Amino acid sequence: MKKVVKFGGSSLSGPKQFEKVKHIISLDKDRRYVVPSAPGKRDDRDNKVTDLLYKAYSLASGDQDFSKVFSEIEGRFNEIIAGLGLKVSLKEEFNTIKKNFSRKIGEDYAASRGEYLNGILLADYLGYRFVDAAEVIFFREDGSFDSARTYDAVYERLKDIERAVIPGFYGSYPDGSIKTFSRGGSDITGSIVARSVKADVYENWTDVSGFFVADPRIITDPENIEMITYTELRELAYMGASVLHEDAIFPVRREGIPINIKNTNKPEDKGSWIVQSTGQKSRFIITGIAGKKGFCSVNIEKDKMNSEVGFGRKVLQAFEDNDISFEHMPSGIDTMTIIVHQDEFIEKEQSVVSEINRMTHPDSIDIESDLALIAVVGRGMKAAKGTSGRIFSALAHANVNVKMIDQGSSELNIIIGVKNEDFENAIRAIYNIFVIAQL
């Protein structure tokens, strides 16, 4: 068996956390390839090293003194070295990085140094080989990820190395300069390494015991999701559930490598499994609920809209011409509604409306803002009768006015639009009916 294990920033924020990580790795000899993040926050008031690096580099690129922020960064790594009694010194590395900052080498390089340095320390502490991600993770000149070249390179490099640490978050352009993924991107690196070495499992260690059925900021002590499919997770992540980087499922998904989200601070918890498909029924009919505020609906009415060929295309053209993507598009016989992100739409509102008017001559266009969308997701919904009925009766009892309903053709999700101010209440009502009532 081969496992790739990724540890997030809070799992490697200081010497105590490093000790937990080493212990976890030592419990399972299959944990052969380790992908670390940069040191994260040690407590709520602390800084992430990545944020400090961005800060220092922004000073450097404005020709300002960055030495104070940089010493703070050095202090974070030196604390780990001292706390673990490591022999390794990062002095030379710090000097090189400072020089590169002064010659304004690039923001991505700067941000990536947290993972790079943490990788050196972790490799030393574990007695694993250090493999610089810049040598095996590749981007094309246009900034897109070069998957084929990367999977080959990682495979070739690791095939004769029994145990290695590969820092997360970055890779390189064809000219060798550094490029990072978006924030939280070490999750993607872990997934790439898992795919390249054909791992049996990709373990992603963080500071929560996996996914919750609903956001703990809204539901106190929500139930844990034990097993979720990649597709269900896509729906929930898109709607705001964030434990894992949204793009981290793609590399492993094609190979069917399961991801296990685990808690470094509570390793005995089962965590959540993300799998391709499962015959295992979820504990509840629904797998999860997630949502976001800040949407607008553009409601268009025209008599006999249904018989006018090309009406929908013309409406969507108005959005496309203004470079606005739409989220949902429920329609009736003489009505059509387009749901968009409020902040993207608001500044182009008048231009979109006038184009719709010009192209389609509707009877009316009415815009409603401050809407929230809630996704109720679950592979179990397909087989269960009356799911939507239960959702709507729960919402009616909670006095929530439902503005929109959209059931995906996969029957995997139901999207509900409510006013922003009803958002939390609606989620509580849905959680209560499907989870609390079933316990």
Residue number, 187 or 235, with CB nearest to ligand ASP: 187
- Residue 4's closest CA among 23, 25, 22? 25
Describe the strand order of the beta sheet including 129-130 as a list of residue ranges: 129-130, 164-165, 31-36, 3-7, 201-206, 259-263, 272-275, 227-229
Applying CB under 6 A, the site for ligand ASP has a residue count of 13
DSSP letter at 40? Answer: -
Asked if 296 and 339 touch (Cβ cutoff 8 Å), the reply is yes
Residue number, 8 or 271, with CB nearest to ligand ASP: 8
Asked if 173 and 145 touch (Cβ cutoff 8 Å), the reply is no
Residue number, 168 or 271, with CB nearest to ligand ASP: 168
| Interstrand relation of 3-7 and 31-36 (parallel, antiparallel or unpaired) | parallel
Q: Tell me if 168 contacts ligand ASP by CB under 6 A.
A: yes
Q: How many angstroms separate the CA atoms of 324 and 350, rounded?
A: 13
Closest contact distance (angstroms) between CB of 344 and ligand ASP is 24
From 3, 31, 48, 403, residue interacting with ligand ASP (rule: CB under 6 A): 48
First to last CA, the chain: 36
DSSP letter at 10? Answer: G
Closest contact distance (angstroms) between CB of 170 and ligand ASP is 9
Q: Per CB under 6 A, which of residues 78..137 are in contact with ligand ASP?
A: 114
Closest contact distance (angstroms) between CB of 17 and ligand ASP is 14
Residue number, 262 or 428, with CB nearest to ligand ASP: 262
Residue number, 168 or 288, with CB nearest to ligand ASP: 168
| From 126-134, 180-188, 194-202, 295-303, span contacting ligand ASP (CB under 6 A) | 180-188
Provide the CB-side half-sphere exposure for 228 (13 A, CA). 31
From 50, 172, 196, 297, residue interacting with ligand ASP (rule: CB under 6 A): 50
Query: DSSP assignment of 137-192, as one string?
Result: -BB-TTS-B-HHHHHHHHHHHHTT-SSEE--SSEEE-TTS-EEE-STTTHHHHHHH
Asked if 260 and 203 touch (Cβ cutoff 8 Å), the reply is yes
Q: Tell me if 242 contacts ligand ASP by CB under 6 A.
A: no
Provide the CB-side half-sphere exposure for 297 (13 A, CA). 23
Closest contact distance (angstroms) between CB of 169 and ligand ASP is 4
Residue number, 185 or 378, with CB nearest to ligand ASP: 185
Closest contact distance (angstroms) between CB of 186 and ligand ASP is 3
Q: Per CB under 6 A, which of residues 182..201 are in contact with ligand ASP?
A: 183-187
From 4, 7, 9, 272, residue interacting with ligand ASP (rule: CB under 6 A): 9
DSSP letter at 280? Answer: S
Closest contact distance (angstroms) between CB of 118 and ligand ASP is 9
Closest contact distance (angstroms) between CB of 156 and ligand ASP is 25
From 66, 109, 125, 169, residue interacting with ligand ASP (rule: CB under 6 A): 169
Closest contact distance (angstroms) between CB of 263 and ligand ASP is 16
224: Cβ–Cβ under 8 A, 6 or more apart, which residues? 209, 210, 211, 212, 213, 269, 270, 272
Q: Tell me if 251 contacts ligand ASP by CB under 6 A.
A: no
| Distances in whole angstroms, Cα of residue 315 to Cα of each of 309, 312, 328, 383, 394 | 12, 5, 13, 35, 34
| From 62-70, 177-185, 275-283, 332-340, span contacting ligand ASP (CB under 6 A) | 177-185
Residue nearest to ligand ASP (CB): 186
Q: Residues interacting with ligand ASP, by CB under 6 A?
A: 9, 37-38, 48, 50, 114, 168-169, 183-187
